[in-house]
Structure 1
């Protein structure tokens, strides 16, 4: 690791510490992600190597954070640590939304649309290569403030670890973007779980507030049911068979526009298709890119 000089710790994610660092030879600023490994006797587990090669492959999309290099080192206890070297981005969507909210402003509709398109494009690329992210949230979406380029991060290890159920640090794992089928304990789920998260992020970009803010799985479900109506077998066949299903209070669906004021009719239509209960009916990320909401966007500039 002599090739890099650590400048500061910028975060501690579910999968390890992240540092801002400088490549000594070029002066280039990078993000170093130190990952803990569940070692077997053979050193680096094959699952991790698979993830890394997957990340390398996904890195070719402009809306996925680029993995530049991979370094292996030893920690003080003599255990193997892997350093993933990523391109460095100066902020993330969570910070961006927070900064806008602090000024009392809203994010311009055109900016929301540009960010949403990039997000759908990155997610569609992952899904097209058989990769689920499973933990999409504003914090995992990195941004370049100057160009407003958005990139999906924290992808690589998401597959080997499935949905991270606990945080290693004191930071609690947010449930706000988690799809109802996951909250209800579905054992088989697929790409629609990411699309649900994208819908939640969409609403948050428009209002600068998270759409469903639950502090437990039950609370999270109740927030969703209050807005979208309590699901039943008619709208979502098989829902009552899911492991965590109980008899819930019966709410009827509210108008989405009441919760996401300021979003035009096309935007509301797209959002409602992303937040459908039945995962089989939920719009795909690829189809979302073709939605009329994006018709007036200069896609070439992205």
Structure 2
């Protein structure tokens, strides 16, 4: 990946790191529908994540801006490991906020600081879906709105997921999205004091289940199943890298 040269003098030692040059990022190409690019992305980046996860590294901030592309060869690489964690660190006591909101897994929107391969898998699926449909599938302007958009696309999590997985997320009980008595009107009344009409209209529009969104795009069945298999509330049910085609 790089070459190292050393230059020794009596007073100092210099190291020269030489890296390949990539002239663009995926961010520059992800705001329009591109099925070929989407499938090349999933093929290349899933290999990169497999290597990271095999070595107990969780990137924690996979996003289009952190995918470099060589425009001549089409080679893609993952960059910016400033938020990376060891998957063996399950202390859950970090105050650090990591991840780019549109691509952040729901468990971390609810305050979980336990990072695992499923953290990166969700981001992989969110980027893949964006490339297939031409816009971010979850596009909240705050963490609260982001949760609202995830609920709008996936529906509420099952009681089993709430009890088995979400019960120990720090912020689960602070929010009312999943209460049976909490209606859409309640949500709009609470949120409207902090947002204008345009934002509320965007939230209403987001309440279209993910399956309908991808059905409307006439995607291949394998592409639909991959998105639905990755973008799940349950960490346990979420596809793993070896299961990604």
TM-score by shorter chain over 0.5: yes
Q: Quote how far apart the aligned CAs of 1:261 are.
A: 1.4
Pick the structure with more helix per residue: 2
Give the ranges of 4+ consecutive aligned residues of structure 1 lying more than 3 Å apart after TM superposition. 66-71, 82-85, 249-253
**1:172-211 paired onto structure 2 within 5 Å:** 174-211=100-137
Corresponding residue number in structure 2 for 1:94: 27
Q: Indicate which of 162, 165, 170 corresponds to 2:97.
A: 165
**Cross-structure match for 1:220:** 146
What CA distance in whole angstroms lies between the structure 2 residues aligned with 1:157 and 1:193?
Answer: 12
- Deviations 1:9-53, CA, capped at 9 Å, x for gaps: xxxxxxxxxxxxxxxxxxxxxxxxxxxxxxxxxxxxxxxxxxxxx
Q: 1:198 to 1:247 in 2, by over 3 A?
A: same
CA apart distance, 1:156: 5.9
Work out whether residues 58 and 115 of structure 2, in 8 Å CA contact, stay in contact via their aligned partners in 1. no
Residue 267 of structure 1 is aligned with which of 207, 216, 223?
Answer: 223
The aligned residue for residue 203 of structure 2 is none
2:176 maps to 247
Which one has the bigger strand percentage?
1
- 8 A Cα contact 2:165 2:234, kept in partner: no
Query: Whose RCO is larger (CA < 8 A, sep 6+)?
Result: 2
Q: What is aligned with 1:288?
A: 244
Show CA shifts across 1:278-300 (max 9, x none). 111111112213xxxxxxxxxxx
Aligned length: 202
Between the aligned partners of 2:125 and 2:22, the Cα distance in structure 1 is 23
**Structure 1: runs of 5 or more not aligned:** 1-65, 72-81, 167-172, 290-302
How much is the aligned-residue C-alpha RMSD, in angstroms? 3.0
From the superposition, tell whether residues 163 and 117 of structure 1 become closer, same or farther in structure 2 (CA, over 3 Å): farther
Give TM-score scaled by structure 2 length. Answer: 0.72
- What per-residue deviation string (whole Å, max 9, x for no partner) do you get for residues 221-242 of structure 1? 1100011002243244231442
**Matched residues in 1 for 2:97 and 2:16: separation?**
23
1:141 aligns with 2:67: yes
TM-score (norm 1): 0.59
CA shift for structure 1 position 174: 3.4
The answer for the alignment partner of 2:198 in structure 1 is none
Give yes or no for contact 1:200–1:211 (8 Å, CA) kept in 2: yes
